[in-house]
Every structure is written in C-alpha cells, then in structure tokens.
C-alpha cells in the first residue's frame, strides 16, 4: 500500500480514533468494582489470621459461619472441609500452610564395616572437568 493511499484515513493532529482510551481489562474492572463496594484484598497475613481464628472455634460457631451466606466463600469452603470426613487432613494442611511443616530429624549413621558415605556429584564433576582441562586435579577440589 502506498503512502498516498493511507493519507485520507489518517486522523488530524490532536485527534484520536479512540477518545475514551483502551477499555479496562475484565479483571481490572472487577477489582475496581469490588474496591468501590468496600471489599478488601485477602493478603497472606489476613488469610493466616483468619485460619488461626477458625481452628480455635467450637463446632456450633463453625456451623453458624458455614450457614451464613454473607461470609466469604473461601472461609465457608475451609469450614465445610474442617467439618467433613477429612477434617484432620484439612487441619493438617492448613497448619502446614499457616506455620510451615514441623522440622523432622533424620539420623544418619553407619557401622564400622559400612561407614556412611556422602557423595557430592557436582564437586566430583567440577574436579573431573578441571582435570580434563588442565591435565591434573587441583588440590582445592579434593
């Protein structure tokens, strides 16, 4: 297409073909609407605090919250899972998320006939690579 063919379709200086600007993306519009309605973002801190409070509530109170349609759906899903058949698994997963899994000690020992050996392949690989490059293993790699 030649420049002379485009010229009649150009906008005059200072004018635009989209006076209202680019339309907002769907989620951006949704977030703006929710903020305007007073809904807050669920931060990691608020989620953790909510979970910590939920696990300390008696069953009757959990049932009340579960029945309350004004409660956030995520809270009602957690409560329903806590009260369900796999409540312990849910509780365990929630605590792992909120506080991290507990540390586990692992005993590593060997006997005199079969002493414990730790092999680090990266160091061996680096030493072999250096040996093939230099012709000898560097004393620091040992």
pLDDT at 83 over 50: yes
Average pLDDT over residues 30-55: 88
Helix axis angle for 73-83 and 44-54, nearest 10°, is 40
pLDDT at 108 over 60: yes
- The domain locations on the chain are 25-99
More confident residue, 32 or 67: 67
pLDDT band at 107 (very low <50, low <70, confident <90, very high): confident
pLDDT at 53 over 80: yes
Side-chain-side CA neighbours of 139 within 13 Å: the count stands at 0
- Residue 61 three-state SS: helix
Average pLDDT over residues 86-90: 90
Mean pLDDT value across the chain: 80
Kindly report, residue by residue over 114-123, the tens digit of the pLDDT: 777 777 666 5
Tokens in use for 53? 């409070």
* Predicted pLDDT at 85: 92
Are the C-beta atoms of residues 82 and 91 closer than 8 Å to each other? Answer: yes
């Amino acid at each position: 297409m030649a420049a002379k063919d485009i010229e009649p379709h150009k906008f005059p200086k200072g004018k635009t073909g989209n006076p209202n600007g680019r339309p907002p993306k769907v989620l951006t519009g949704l977030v703006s609407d929710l903020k305007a309605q007073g809904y807050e973002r669920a931060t990691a801190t608020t989620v953790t605090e909510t979970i910590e409070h939920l696990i300390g509530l008696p069953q009757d109170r959990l049932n009340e919250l579960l029945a309350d349609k004004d409660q956030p759906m995520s809270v009602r899903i957690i409560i329903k899972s806590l009260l369900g058949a796999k409540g312990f698994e849910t509780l365990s997963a929630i605590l792992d998320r909120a506080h991290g899994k507990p540390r586990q000690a692992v005993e590593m020992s060997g006997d005199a006939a079969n002493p414990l050996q730790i092999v680090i392949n990266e160091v061996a690989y680096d030493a072999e690579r250096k040996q093939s490059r230099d012709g000898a293993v560097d004393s620091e790699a040992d």
